[in-house]
Amino acid sequence: TQLLEQSPQFLSIQEGENLTVYCNSSSVFSSLQWYRQEPGEGPVLLVTVVTGGEVKKLKRLTFQFGDARKDSSLHITAAQPGDTGLYLCAGAWYYGNKLVFGAGTILRVKS
Amino acid sequence: ETGVTQTPRHLVMGMTNKKSLKCEQHLGHNAMYWYKQSAKKPLELMFVYNFKEQTENNSVPSRFSPECPNSSHLFLHLHTLQPEDSALYLCASSQQGTGETDTQYFGPGTRLTVL
């Protein structure tokens, strides 16, 4: 059983469509991070959410941290082919410096 | 460019070979990490070093041996690996003890294939 469940595992959409990726857990985290990883590269941090209920926007990307700090979502508006990649969520505990990662969502945006 | 470099980027080795992966961070961080990334599985934390001291060994087989000579460099020594060890090995670094959230910065990874 994974501590962080991401859904969907794979998403293939047309350019211009909207999409939402979910990250769920039964554990409470001090913060949650979203990363994007392209083939042959390491994950690159997109955003860190810290406060329960927090919403952060990064251009067409909207990130939300659940009120109970157990779940998060990533919404992309008007997806572009450049958004294609593996999206990873990672939860941080209150103590120590360990992150627990979800298995990721592979997004493919077709032009 | 995240400030974390890894060499080599690709490595093919036999099960009897000995090789080493190298990671260097140029961010002035005090913590470094090794992760293993296999297809369709979450990133697996292998080792954590804080201030050059190993603080986490996540039940990693002894055929993987980490070394952290200083806060900027991290090595992963490999010997007598198995084909199931083939994966992308990622290095990351972070700054701990400043009250900030645990943001980790990743290198590009080494794609390892064990024949």
| pLDDT tens-digit series, residues B81-108 | 999 999 999 999 998 766 555 688 999 9
pLDDT tens digits for A52-79?
Answer: 999 999 999 999 999 999 999 999 999 9
Question: Are A40 and A48 spatial neighbours (Cβ–Cβ below 8 Å)?
Answer: no
Does residue A16 carry a pLDDT above 70? Answer: yes
Question: Are A23 and A105 spatial neighbours (Cβ–Cβ below 8 Å)?
Answer: no
Asked if the Cβ–Cβ distance from A41 to B45 is below 8 Å, we say no
- Average pLDDT score over residue span A19-42: 93
**Measured in Å, how far apart are chain A's first and last C-alpha atoms?**
36
> Over chain A, what is the mean pLDDT?
92
Tell whether A78 is within 8 A of chain B (Cβ): no
Distance from CA of B11 to the nearest CA of A (A): 13
Name the A residues in 9-38 with CB < 8 Å from any B CB. 9, 30-31, 33, 35
pLDDT tens digits for B49-81?
Answer: 987 787 777 789 999 999 999 999 999 999 999
Asked if the Cβ–Cβ distance from A98 to B45 is below 8 Å, we say yes
Distance from CA of B99 to the nearest CA of A (A): 11
The pLDDT assigned to A36 comes to: 96
Asked if the Cβ–Cβ distance from A97 to B106 is below 8 Å, we say no
